[in-house]
Structure 1
């Protein structure tokens, strides 16, 4: 019984570590994407400034035209992956409790850790 409980605890810890690692990876990828987008915007701005300086200035500018731009659609947060990993961890935890590997107290502690992460 002691060996099985140790294996179960290791499985819970490994599952939690995997979930945390995945979350950190997604957050880092988001930061890299944000940095790449900012660099692209800066390059576009610099290019447009150079083009404006190269074009001769007109004495009279034509009247400005109204341009309608659609509002950007916000990207969906990758919360689905995070939620799915939590659900998987909770299911695994429930299976361990049902099998009698974890006590009620251990189950509640591990469940709180998963839900608060």
Structure 2
């Protein structure tokens, strides 16, 4: 193999290496572009969720307050609430 053969082989190897390098670079650039595009398509924050409206409150005829006071009394009688806690909850209920 002479001088020209060695130069030809070097040119082929260098050309192949350049082609492979360019292909790898293009593929990587394509992946990065796809990632950026995907990033822009996703919202940066979650949109606020819709909450259901609170159920309408029943007309207060006093029976529900009495039932709640009875529950509080039962909790106090069972020892779950102290007399002080019962008084606080009762005052809160009566205040409305």
TM-score, with length taken from structure 1: 0.37
With a CA cutoff of 8 Å and minimum separation of 6, indicate the structure with the bigger relative contact order: 1
TM-score, with length taken from structure 2: 0.45
Between structure 1 and structure 2, the one with the greater Rg is 2
